[in-house]
Structure 1
């Protein structure tokens, strides 16, 4: 496990150990596009669930490692499901800008997100129902209602997204309900490259150069908004260039770009060899015409 994730998991587990059975520990993870917040959230939740199951097995050595009566307690809720739908964006007064800037704070439903956090924040009782959050279907490019379940057994809930620490209406109110807020810190240039590669891999643009330009015009405008209007955070986590923090798609795109660059270099080298050969053949032909060497 990455040492940063391990430190955060130990810190979270220690804090969670002080909570009673009616309490949930709520964590929000924020960061600019391409910072690695989604991967961090997934890694932390996986490690917290493993720690939960290991501790249970230590207390009850004869219990099975996979025990249906001992479900996971940590869950991730991405904010992607709170994108406005394409139909909603098209109905906005600034529809053209909203569609191009999709991913900016004003293209999200912050108040519906706040409503979810308020429900999850309530104490757990025998009557507590399963709470549902929306997901995002990248195939249809729109949210899917009630697709992520948060069962009554969920004791640690991690909300991850760009604006969980944004000082604006809705986001600000949800921020006050969190037990902890983490911010994954990275520089703009590194984030730009990561997002451009990711968008290119997703087929959003036809070329990497087009993806890079779009990232600078849209995603990094959002990044500056996040940095300029960030609320208090409890943990600032440096983003690292580590394979465990990179998605499979990012690795594939980077490999493809390297392969393309190598191919281009090879083609350029081959073209240079052909050019030299042609020059040599032209020289020989000229010499032959002059009767030299014959």
Structure 2
């Protein structure tokens, strides 16, 4: 994985050199639950910030050029799921495309596409509180100095509005591909580890009836992408252990994730 990820980071860095200072370079990393896309996005973000720091340590110290924005923050809240016509199913299927606020995500992407100027303000994205199991508004800051933004989420290359509209505004789309049986094994381990399933049988039911159902929609409705990355049964591709399920993909711990 290390060589592959380094290659991706170097490619982005090379392409970024031609981006005008008033613009940002946006990347969307998608894949089915358990594919390891969060791991990939987080590592590439760190490598880009390392390259940025090495270019001019005195100038860039403490000012990351790249930010990593997980899509967990765009889950509908539990209160919003309660207000749906079939709240029981909505909660059980949390993680399906219709349980995300795609329009708010599209709005952020549009703002990030606006020219950066001296008076540009810091933008904000939501995070997800895994203890409360709800989004936290305006918790991830994106300063004007951040000019590479890497998003990750299940539906970022889905050929369906509003996800397709956001995908059309990206510089690059990446898809992390994984065999369903590999993802299933990872998901079962994660659900038990996180305590959202009482045992492996319960975790398997959750994976089969929600995560992998979503995975089928993600793979069958995928747009063409710039990078197709294979995730193998390898410890380096395992999802972050801090993730909590409810149909959501893995989320790095806020204390260690390279958020800006």
TM-score exceeds 0.5? yes
- Tell me if 1:112 matches 2:135: no
Q: For residue 52 of structure 2, what is the aligned residue in structure 1?
A: 52
Q: TM-score, normalised by structure 1?
A: 0.80
Paired with 1:53 and 1:240, the residues of 2 have a C-alpha distance of 31
Q: Following TM superposition, by how much is the alpha carbon of 1:134 offset from its aligned partner in structure 2, in angstroms? A: 0.3
- State which of 238, 250, 258 in structure 2 corresponds to 1:246: 238
Q: Whose radius of gyration is greater, 1 or 2?
A: 1
Match of 1:249, SS state, is coil
Q: For residue 39 of structure 1, what is the aligned residue in structure 2?
A: 39
Paired with 1:100 and 1:48, the residues of 2 have a C-alpha distance of 37
Tell me, yes or no, if the aligned pair for 2:157 and 2:164 is still in contact at 8 Å.
Answer: yes
Q: For residue 270 of structure 1, what is the aligned residue in structure 2?
A: none
Q: For residue 170 of structure 1, what is the aligned residue in structure 2?
A: 162
Q: For residue 30 of structure 1, what is the aligned residue in structure 2?
A: 30
- Tell me if 1:17 matches 2:9: no
Structure 1: tracts of 5 or more residues without a match: 58-62, 251-294
Q: RMSD over aligned Cα, in angstroms?
A: 1.5
Q: For residue 61 of structure 2, what is the aligned residue in structure 1?
A: 67
Q: For residue 279 of structure 1, what is the aligned residue in structure 2?
A: none
Q: In proportion to residue count, which structure has more helix?
A: 1
Paired with 2:171 and 2:240, the residues of 1 have a C-alpha distance of 31
Q: TM-score, normalised by structure 2?
A: 0.90
Paired with 2:33 and 2:237, the residues of 1 have a C-alpha distance of 14
Aligned residues: 242
Q: For residue 227 of structure 1, what is the aligned residue in structure 2?
A: 219
Query: Higher relative CO (CA 8 A, sep ≥ 6), structure 1 or 2?
Result: 2
- Tell me if 1:146 matches 2:142: no
Paired with 2:93 and 2:240, the residues of 1 have a C-alpha distance of 26
Paired with 1:156 and 1:24, the residues of 2 have a C-alpha distance of 6
CA deviations on 1:47-106 (whole Å, 9 max, x unpaired) are 00001111114xxxxx39x834xx110000111000000010011012111110000000
Paired with 2:91 and 2:241, the residues of 1 have a C-alpha distance of 24
Structure 2: tracts of 5 or more residues without a match: 243-260
Q: How does 1:126-137 map to 2 (within 5 A)?
A: 126-137=118-129
Paired with 2:31 and 2:102, the residues of 1 have a C-alpha distance of 17
